[in-house]
Amino acid sequence: MSYSSQVGRTLDDEHRTNLALLEKVEHALTRLAYSDPAFTGLMSQFARAMEHDIERHFQFEEESLFPLMREAGDGEMADLMVEEHGVIREIACELLPLARIAAAGEMDEPQRVLLKQHALEMVERQVAHIQKETMALLPMLDDLLDQETDRELAFAYACDPALRPSR
Amino acid sequence: MTERPAPAKAPVRAALMVASRQGTRAAKTAAGAFIGGAKGRLLPASIPLRHFGAAVVFHLLAWLALAVGAANGTDFGAGLGWPLAAVHLITLGVLGMSVLGAGAQLLPVASRQAATGAYLLAAIWWLYMPGVAVLALGMGLARPAWLAAGAAACTLALLLWGLLTARNLFGARGMPGVVAHGWAALAALLVMLAAALALVSVWLGWPAAPARHTVLALHRVMAPYGFIGLFSLGLSYVLVPMFVLADSPDDRYQLASLVLLVLALASAALAALGLAPAALMALGLLAGSIAVALHLWLMARTLRQGMRRFAGPSGTLVRLGWGGLVASLVLGWVLLLQWPLPDAGLWFGLCLVGIWQMSFLLGILQRIAPFLAAMHALPGRRAPTPSALSHDGALQLHRICHIGALVLLAGAIATSNHAVMFAAACVGTVGALAFCTFFGVLLWRLRRPAAASSSASHAGIR
């Protein structure tokens, strides 16, 4: 996939980073021991992504992009994305405390079951959501954003402290 | 943070037109239009699911028919009998039924049209499903009258479905590659049906019936490579990019592959009718080989550029299917050049129907059935995800049994041993039962309240 808008390229980069992380999480949940340092490190990274990056990404889309989509007559698609953001946030609320416990290496058996259950659901829902955004939303941005708006939004997204990615 | 996959380099194409308040504008990818607009373009769940369900049951019956044939010592190619019934339970029952259901749902969604004709599709199913059953019984029990009755019902059902699909294709916007594959498949369907009816007239012993070998050759080309093959290849340009998150291949390449396929089919058809058979069959095979090479190159590039891996049982079966397609063409050359390979015709049939078409279709079916079902799930706090409706264990078992059964079938051909054929049928039956379990679980979970099905299924059944 390649996009001509800066915003599209930025969001696509984040999607790719997130997909790589989700793939590692999915793999780790089925293959690694929960006490493995690689697992605890990955859970720490996963928790950080849920806490900061996902919210920041969603907030930007909801505040800056979806209104433009609605104006252009693509409200149905925007509503679908918002609905999916809501579900992913809901799962993140349930999953984040468990991911933090896993990152600290202090999980008991019931928590492990819950972690796996919620994390696998999170992986699948995020992948499906990224799939929709990649194939339907991001290509749309090339038409929705003129050059100036694109530059302004990309700059604001990169500079706003509230929207700055955690590293 | 983490290593990032290499960015894809394929240009995004303007493929579809999307109606918006600002007028009509381009939607950039076929798969994007599919995913973004699918929910509003769905047929009632009962329509695709009844077709998929019947295909799953016919899959089981096909292996059972083969077991009966093997137990009775019947060979493939021995005329009417249970092996021939098994082949038609697969081609008409599994492949045909799935194409009817998938085509009716996927083509309108992908071409951005309202999915209409639900009542007609239900009626078609009620005509086609018993038609296949009666035809298979007629073949198995060697009763030409039953065979003729079943064939008549299937023909009528396929013609009605063809009319509905033609209407869909006529109104399609964008996606010229997929739409052109659809038209070519419909043309192949007409030739295939004509050849099939001519074959029935041969079985009925009508005096005016054409020469058996002529219509059989035509039927053997137009059914697998024409009707089923063209639809499979065309829909791959939508489905595979969607599975792996990639652009659809360039329309020009899709159309180039299609032109070569049509040339191949036309040449093979004329050769079957006796017009310069050696030269035209060679031309057809050459054109078909290049077309398939181009198609598989496009698929390989799509997989390479995709942001997700095409893994799991589905990915294995689809890749196995592609291998079978190549092997069938290699065996086509072996047959044409009359190389001394014992039972070359049987090897060709195994690669064509067993390895290519059955593996490919079952691989695709296990992805699209949960995908479509998830869109129809009962509303709730969290609608179930496709994998929450699926059953990974059953699919893993099916994959093992499917591959095992194909290996045993190859062993049966190599040794001409009925016991090995019976063992293949038994292993295939276990695999088919596993696939039935997958589909049954999907239907059961579809009816559960959303939150329950979603959380329970992610607890470890993936």
- DSSP run (H or E) holding B275: none
Mean pLDDT of B168-178: 84
Q: Is B33 on the interface with A (CB under 8 A)?
A: yes
Cα–Cα distance for residue pair B284/B191, rounded to 1 Å: 16
Q: Give strand ranges (E) for A100-156.
A: none
Closest-CA residue of chain A to B11 = A2
pLDDT surpasses 80 at A136 = no
Cα–Cα distance for residue pair A59/A62, rounded to 1 Å: 5
Query: Cβ separation of A1 and B5 shorter than 8 Å?
Result: no
Closest-CA residue of chain B to A1 = B8
Q: Is B2 on the interface with A (CB under 8 A)?
A: yes
Q: Is A121 on the interface with B (CB under 8 A)?
A: yes
Q: Is A13 on the interface with B (CB under 8 A)?
A: yes
Contacts of A88 (CB under 8 A, 6+ apart): A54, A58, A122, A125, A126, A129
Closest among B387, B399, B398 to B460, alpha carbons compared: B387
Cα–Cα distance for residue pair B321/B239, rounded to 1 Å: 15
Closest Cβ–Cβ partner in A12, A15, A136 for B32: A136
Question: Which residues of chain B make contact with A137, given a CB cutoff of 8 A?
Answer: 36
How far, CA to CA in Å, does B459 sit from each of A94, A114, A119?
14, 7, 10
Question: Which residues of chain A make contact with B458, given a CB cutoff of 8 A?
Answer: 116-118, 120-121, 124
Contacts of B23 (CB under 8 A, 6+ apart): none
To the nearest 10°, report the CA torsion of B406, B411, B412, B415.
170
Closest-CA residue of chain A to B308 = A19
- Give the pLDDT of residue B427: 98
Closest-CA residue of chain B to A136 = B32
Closest Cβ–Cβ partner in B20, B35, B460 for A73: B20
Closest Cβ–Cβ partner in A76, A131, A167 for B35: A131
Closest Cβ–Cβ partner in A72, A127, A143 for B21: A72
Q: Is B32 on the interface with A (CB under 8 A)?
A: yes
pLDDT surpasses 50 at B6 = no
Closest among A161, A12, A71 to B7, alpha carbons compared: A12
B 292-311 residues inside an 8 A Cβ radius of A: 307-309
DSSP B247: P
Q: Is B22 on the interface with A (CB under 8 A)?
A: yes
Query: Cβ separation of A72 and B1 shorter than 8 Å?
Result: no
ipTM value: 0.70
How many pairs of residues across A and B have Cβ atoms under 8 Å apart? 124
Higher pLDDT, A76 or B285: B285
Higher pLDDT, B417 or B210: B417
Region at B62 (left for phi over 0; alpha for psi -120 to 50; beta for the rest): alpha
Q: Which of B191-195, B235-239, B277-281, B458-462 has the lowest mean pLDDT?
A: B458-462
pTM: 0.83
Query: Cβ separation of A72 and B246 shorter than 8 Å?
Result: no
Question: Which residues of chain B make contact with A1, given a CB cutoff of 8 A?
Answer: 7-8, 10, 12, 245-247, 307
Give phi and psi for B3, each to the nearest 5. Answer: -65, 140
Q: Is A9 on the interface with B (CB under 8 A)?
A: no
Per-residue pLDDT band at A37 (split at 50, 70, 90): confident
Distance, C-alpha B177 to centroid of its chain: 18
Closest Cβ–Cβ partner in B7, B385, B458 for A128: B385
How far, CA to CA in Å, does B388 sit from each of A124, B311, B374?
9, 17, 9
Query: Cβ separation of B2 and A2 shorter than 8 Å?
Result: no
pLDDT surpasses 50 at B11 = no
What tokens does B392 get? 């990974």
For residue B140, give how far its alpha carbon lies from the nearest alpha carbon of chain A (Å).
45
Tens of pLDDT, residues B362-373: 999 999 999 888
Mean pLDDT of B149-155: 97
Tens of pLDDT, residues A55-107: 889 999 999 899 988 888 878 788 888 988 999 999 999 999 999 999 988 88
Closest Cβ–Cβ partner in A72, A135, A143 for B31: A135
Query: Cβ separation of B308 and A21 shorter than 8 Å?
Result: no
Query: Cβ separation of B307 and A1 shorter than 8 Å?
Result: yes
Residues of chain A with pLDDT > 70, as a percent, come to 94
Closest among B432, B359, B436, B426 to B391, alpha carbons compared: B436
